[in-house]
Amino acid sequence: MSIYYKSTRGGQSDMSCSQAIVKGLADDGGLFVPSDIPKIDLPFEKLAKMKYTELAFYIIQKFFPEIDNLKECIESAYDEKFDSKDKVELVERCGVSFLELYHGPTAAFKDMALSLLPYLLTSSAKKSSIDKDIVILAATSGDTGKAALAGFAGVEGTKIVVFFPNDGVSAIQKMQMVTQSESNTCVIGIDGNFDDAQTGVKNIFADNELKEKLSENGFMLSSANSINIGRLVPQIVYYVYSYVKLLSQGKVKDGEKVNFVVPTGNFGNILAGYYAMNMGIPVNKLICASNENNVLFDFISTGVYDRKRELVKTNSPSMDILVSSNLERLLYHLSGGNSGEVKKFMDKLSSEGSYSVGQDIKNKLSLFYGGFTSEDQTLETIKYAYENCSYLMDTHTAVAYKVYEDYKKSTGDDTYTVIASTASPFKFTKSVSTAIGMDADEDEFQLMYELSKESSVKVPYGLDGIEKKEIVHKTTCGKQSMENVLSDFLGVK
């Protein structure tokens, strides 16, 4: 039986994987989900002998059988851009294994999916007989923009345009973006905050006249947002990879369950863990870790999702989010594919700002455990792990580790546990240096090297020497002129 994709809200079904990847979002506003979650049909010991790219091919082709150059896509995505031979590292410290997902070009876990997405997208476009250049538009508060730039840079048949708030990203993040040199990239600082950037991008997507004009000139707009199924599926691979690795390291027995702890924002990463479990990876708990924006903690504890609250700016900014888009996919699966019910929840969320699930879904949510940390606890955890386990972690990973410690204390559960480590500590140099007691007054670039000296951890190659790189993108614009800047870049009058 072959796999196909349908909308979580029921308005679309029978889409091929290529159509789902190209469209990104379903026409009814829902997210694409697979008709069935395929099962792992090889013994774990066999999977354990595979290289990361081989395993990626084995898993991803089950979801995307139509991508006929998938092997090449994977080889191009996970090449020497990653500074780890295995692409990810599994490091045992403090009695748990940290699954380091930040060895890609931009030193954050978004590289795991955004390195592959451009290839999936261009291949899918060909399959759907689209002969236009794909123009990716993104608004970013930091991590996504750079990972998308690095992924799409130099990929034939694509262009990428990233808008960031001029004063809303760190010095390191800004430098990472404005030094991207390939000619199919365009990076623009806007006078405004992240919401302004995001609204501007949404307005462009909604402007049919502009889209028509772009189309006449051979361009098609698309997004690299984490709701694209092409971003979700590549993330399943590292859950399978870490399980079979633990098996071959003798840390768990075949079939023994493990816990995964995931620092969560848009719910994409942890949902990939849920998919891995449904493919056959033995899981005890999926532990969902939040910062002070603890919407998901409340939801998992009470079954009520309520976004009516102020967004707090925290030291783990990639998780500062109030609407976790990918949760919609979980609701779909937990409701047994009841798209009518999912649509009701989502309609309520947009009209009233909250919804409440029934007892049946609430019971099924017990697979998850939710927790959150305060700003101080996050920093204290970095210090604790550094001093007691000689492990330097970033703020997001610290949120996860602290929530796990709380979980263990309150439940006594001693199941072997894997913590998803989502960013290099050097991406958040200022917070990390402060946490371990360094003088963090220096400029952030200098501080990076100080932190490296202090911790004896190498600065990731994507950040090393970044302060000396040539600044290529100097354009800034007002929030009203984003369309003009886009048209100029594409040479469309």
Ligand X SMILES: *Cc1c(COP(=O)(O)O)cnc(C)c1O
Distance (Å, rounded) from C-alpha 317 to C-alpha 100? 19
Distance (Å, rounded) from C-alpha 109 to C-alpha 113? 8
Size of interface with ligand X, in residues (CB under 6 A): 17
Q: Name the minimum Å distance from CB 370 to ligand X.
A: 13
Residues between 223 and 242 that touch ligand X (CB under 6 A)? 226
Of 97 and 266, which has the nearer Cβ to ligand X?
266
Distance (Å, rounded) from C-alpha 87 to C-alpha 54? 12
| Cα angle for residues 293, 283, 78 (degrees, 5° grid) | 75
Q: Which of 52, 64, 267, 297 binds ligand X (CB under 6 A)?
A: 267
Report DSSP letters for 231-282, one per residue.
HHHHHHHHHHHHHHHHHHTTSS-TT--EEEEEE-SSSHHHHHHHHHHHHT--
Q: Name the minimum Å distance from CB 397 to ligand X.
A: 8
Q: Which of 97, 124, 318, 381 binds ligand X (CB under 6 A)?
A: 318
Q: Is 265 in the site for ligand X (CB under 6 A)?
A: yes
Q: Is 108 in the site for ligand X (CB under 6 A)?
A: yes
Of the CA atoms within 13 Å of residue 12, those in its CB half-sphere come to 21
Of 176 and 422, which has the nearer Cβ to ligand X?
422
Here the tokens at position 117 are 């997405």
* Residue 470 CA: distances (Å) to CA of 153, 178, 233, 462: 16, 9, 35, 14
Beta-bridged to residue 260, according to DSSP, are: 286, 418
Of 230 and 268, which has the nearer Cβ to ligand X?
268
Residues between 112 and 171 that touch ligand X (CB under 6 A)? 143
User: Which range touches ligand X (CB under 6 A), out of 123-131, 155-163, 201-209, 267-275?
Assistant: 267-275
Of 64 and 267, which has the nearer Cβ to ligand X?
267
User: Which range touches ligand X (CB under 6 A), out of 108-116, 173-181, 245-253, 339-347?
Assistant: 108-116
Beta-bridged to residue 96, according to DSSP, are: 93
Of 25 and 220, which has the nearer Cβ to ligand X?
25
What is the residue type of 311?
L
Q: Name the minimum Å distance from CB 272 to ligand X.
A: 8
Q: Which of 104, 118, 200, 263 binds ligand X (CB under 6 A)?
A: 263
Contact between 432 and 299 under an 8 Å Cβ cutoff? The reply is no
Q: Is 266 in the site for ligand X (CB under 6 A)?
A: yes
* Residue 202 CA: distances (Å) to CA of 138, 223, 225, 295: 9, 10, 12, 24
| 110 in active site | yes
Q: Is 319 in the site for ligand X (CB under 6 A)?
A: yes
Catalytic residue (choose from 110, 285, 427, 430): 110
Contact between 119 and 77 under an 8 Å Cβ cutoff? The reply is yes
Q: Name the minimum Å distance from CB 126 to ligand X.
A: 28
User: Which range touches ligand X (CB under 6 A), out of 104-112, 156-164, 246-254, 466-474?
Assistant: 104-112
Distance (Å, rounded) from C-alpha 378 to C-alpha 392? 13
Q: Name the minimum Å distance from CB 438 to ligand X.
A: 21
Distance (Å, rounded) from C-alpha 58 to C-alpha 70? 10
Contact between 417 and 258 under an 8 Å Cβ cutoff? The reply is yes
Q: Name the minimum Å distance from CB 264 to ligand X.
A: 4
Of 159 and 402, which has the nearer Cβ to ligand X?
402
Buried b (16+ CB within 10 A) or exposed e, 31-65: bbbbeebbebeeebeebbebebbebbbbbbbbbbe
Of 158 and 324, which has the nearer Cβ to ligand X?
324
User: Which range touches ligand X (CB under 6 A), out of 48-56, 197-205, 261-269, 473-481?
Assistant: 261-269
Of 219 and 297, which has the nearer Cβ to ligand X?
297
Binding pattern for the stretch 436-475 against ligand X, x by CB under 6 A and - elsewhere: ----------------------------------------
Distance (Å, rounded) from C-alpha 60 to C-alpha 239? 13
Kindly report the backbone phi and psi dihedral angles of residue 247, in degrees, each rounded to the nearest multiple of 5, phi listed first: -65, -50
Q: Which of 16, 269, 314, 377 binds ligand X (CB under 6 A)?
A: 269
Of 145 and 192, which has the nearer Cβ to ligand X?
145
158-165 and 185-191: which strand pairing?
parallel
Binding pattern for the stretch 413-432 against ligand X, x by CB under 6 A and - elsewhere: ---------xx---------
Nearest to 139 by CA among 230, 227, 202: 202
Q: Name the minimum Å distance from CB 6 to ligand X.
A: 22
Catalytic residue list: 110
- Site residues for ligand X per CB under 6 A: 108-110, 143, 226, 263-269, 318-319, 396, 422-423
